[in-house]
Amino acid sequence: MDVVQRLKDLEPKHADIKYRIINFVYSAKNRLVQKTDEFHKQVITATAGSLASSIDLEDDLLYQLNHQSQSVDRTCLDFLKSIVDININVAGVGFSNCINDVERGIDTELQWAQKMLDVDESEIFYQSLLDVFQDQNIIAGPDAIAAKLQEKAAEIDAFASDYMSGIFKVLEQFSCKLWGFRNGYQKCLNVNESVLKMAYDVSKNQLISICLGSIGKSES
């Protein structure tokens, strides 16, 4: 009867582990979606901010070009205006490159994470409880079965621990990758914006030294 009681005590634990693992995997996949959604929102916010800054640079230079005195060479100003258009379009290519790079990265990591979380549920569902009776006699050898039940309890704990720690590692690595992608994307935007600013600074210098214009106070 002691063996039966131990079996009764172990059964709820055996069932609970299955529920916990299945729910944990589901929660992990849900967390994966949440993290990806947050990442995309951050990328969109960063893109909007950098794009607004780039347009401000363009507007400032166009304001300068459109508010020159009549003595400034119009042809020279028109050349600079065309350069402004070219530079902002080149910056647009830079934006696309930054976005495409980060998108490729996140797609690769998502595929990896989803694959790692694609748990073989048969390993969970077919964890046997009654195999402790195999080749045993509950009447003649209850102690052997009791020992197996004790081993089974330890196996269940180890099984759950291995599964859950593995899932934690997947989420942790995915989060670290997202952090790296986010920082890399911001750096890419900063470089793109910096290059545009340098190009517009060159145009301002050309306005002064070649077109013989001047830099006044902008509206902003």
pLDDT of the chain along its 220 residues, tens only? 465 566 566 566 666 667 777 788 888 889 999 999 999 999 999 999 999 999 999 999 999 999 999 999 999 999 999 999 999 999 999 999 999 999 999 999 999 998 888 766 555 554 555 555 555 444 444 566 566 666 666 666 666 677 778 888 999 999 999 999 999 999 999 999 999 999 999 999 999 999 999 998 876 5
Q: Which CA distances in Å does 155 have to 1, 7, 129? A: 23, 14, 11
Q: Any idea which architecture 2-210 has in CATH? A: Up-down Bundle (1.20)
What DSSP string runs through 117-157? T---HHHHHT--SGGGGTT--TTT-HHHHHHHHHHHHHHHH
pLDDT of residue 157: 65
**Residue ranges of the domains in the chain?**
2-210
Which residue has tokens 């009447």?
139
The model scores a pTM over 0.75: yes
